[in-house]
Structure formats: C-alpha cells, structure tokens
Amino acid sequence: MGAAYFYHLTRNPLEVTLPQLLGRAMQAGWRVAVRGRDPARMEWLDRQLWLGAAEGFLPHGLAGGPHDADQPVLLTTGEAAANDPSCLMTVDGAGVEAAEVQHLQRVCVIFDGNDPAALQVARGQWKDLTDAGCAAQYWSEESGRWEMKAERGA
C-alpha cells in the first residue's frame, strides 16, 4: 500500500519542482505518470522538461506516442498510463482515487499554494484520500526547504 504526498508550492513554480521530484522517483527505480487536466498544459510541461535537460537528462514522453509503454516518465491527461507506473504525480488539480494510492508506491499531489482554487482542490483531495484510509503526508516549502507539516497514517 502506498501513500499520498501533498506538495504545497509557494516558492518555486511547477516547472522547477517537478523535475526534482521526478528525479527522486527515478532514483527509487519507479516509472512515473504525470497526470494533468489540460492537454495544452501537458505539452507545455513536456517542453519545460526538455528545456531543463542541462541539469540532467530526464527521459520522458507525452502520451499518445508510439513508445508510451517504454517511457520512464509519461505525461498524460488520462486515467490509465501506458507505462505501468509505480508513482503517479498529479498537477493542476487532476483527480486521484484512493484505489490508486493503495495500488501504487506513491502518489504525489503537487499544487500551487498561491492559487486559492488549487488550495481548495488539494484540501478536498486530502480529506477524500485520508477519509478513505490512505496514508498521507503534507509537505511545504514556505521556509525555503521542504518540510513535512502534517501526516496521517493508514
């Protein structure tokens, strides 16, 4: 059974934080699906990940290509990811179900702390997942480094 980690972005934008989290997940040996809600936004993230390649190559692909199943990181708007991920990272309020948390090694809910609507969605997701019995941690970067601020056990 996995856990849901909530990442509250207040200092760095998604395009800075996501590659860091993806790098850690890949070091753990996990395949990752990054789920968003808007195809245009996922295309933008795809370009941002390629632009950041100077810090280290991050192999990834945008869902819908011929090699989706081979991608270590697959950006998608769909519910199911063809790359058989161990980790799901959701962005921009994309949905996540308790069954996914329980099935995967880790689910990361990444949300913009400067957006009141994103905060509200993340609060609802925290409540829904923890009420369903999922283990969860809440992480904040407000101090300048990531600190765990809350934890709920399964």
CATH of the domain at 84: 3.40.50.10110
pLDDT, tens digit, for every residue of 43-64?
999 999 888 755 667 889 999 9
For residue 21, is pLDDT > 90? yes
For residue 142, is pLDDT > 90? no
Cα separation, 74 vs 68, in Å, equals: 7
pTM: 0.94
Closest to 99 measured CA to CA, from 88, 110, 91: 88
Return the higher-pLDDT residue of 13 and 144. 13
| 36 band by pLDDT with thresholds 50, 70 and 90 | very high
Amino acid at 150: A
Q: Which domain holds residue 77?
A: 3-152
The pLDDT, as a whole number, for residue 57 is 75
Cα separation, 12 vs 56, in Å, equals: 19
Number of domains observed in the structure of the chain? 1
